[in-house]
Amino acid sequence: MMSSTKPNKQRKNAANAPTHIKRKRIRARCLDPAFPNVRNVTIRVGDDVTVHRGDWGNPGHDKDEGGKRLGGTRGKEGIEAKVIAVDIKTGRIFVEGVSHSTAESKAEGIPLHASNVIVTKIDDGDVVRLKKLEERNGGDE
């Protein structure tokens, strides 16, 4: 079967893909010391991530301090927290502490793209996932 090289058809296929395929596209760099040979992983709820890009990838990420875009200082360290939700349809993730207040003074999560985060610790709740990652890591080498 031949796939198209036209960008318009590539974007159309990505947008109209089934959800089980879209889920696998939400991937990020893996820097978990338990898996040194694994380059990237599919992000799941419970994984620890570090935000590296955008306003939340800078130390002045509070509403009062402002981020890079809001006149705050630029830095090298981003917020580190757990993933609390993954939106498969939009391809975005929600991280603890990354939120803003709505007009009703409620905290609302800000969606982040998976390419802007780095997975620092993989959630160890799923033994099948850990087994597959061990195989990708190289087993007992």
Domain residue spans in the chain?
Answer: 10-137
Dump pLDDT digits (tens) for 36-77: 999 999 999 999 999 988 777 765 545 555 555 555 555 556
Quote the DSSP letter at residue 73.
-
Structure tokens at 59: 């130390």
Could you tell me the CA-to-CA distances from 25 to 57, 66, 127 in Å, in that order?
22, 31, 21
The pLDDT value recorded for residue 71 is 57
CA-angle at 61, arms to 59 and 67, nearest 5°: 90
pLDDT of residue 99: 84
Once rounded to an integer, what is the mean pLDDT over residues 1-22?
A: 90
On the CB side of 48, CA atoms within 13 Å amount to 8
> Helix, strand or coil for residue 90?
coil
pLDDT value at residue 56: 76
Q: Give the global pTM.
A: 0.80
Q: Are strands 27-30 and 117-121 parallel, antiparallel or unpaired?
A: parallel
Task: Please enumerate in sequence order all residues whose Cβ is within 8 A of that of 81, keeping only pairs 6 or more positions apart, or say none.
Answer: 48, 49, 95, 96, 97, 98
Taking the C-alpha atoms of residue 63 and residue 54, their distance in angstroms, rounded to an integer, is: 14
State in words which class domain 10-137 has: mainly beta
Structure tokens at 21: 């395929």
Give Cβ neighbours of residue 91 (< 8 Å, ≥ 6 apart): 22, 25, 26, 113, 114
Q: Rounded to whole angstroms, how far apart are CA atoms 122 and 47?
A: 5
pLDDT in tens, 91-101: 999 999 888 88
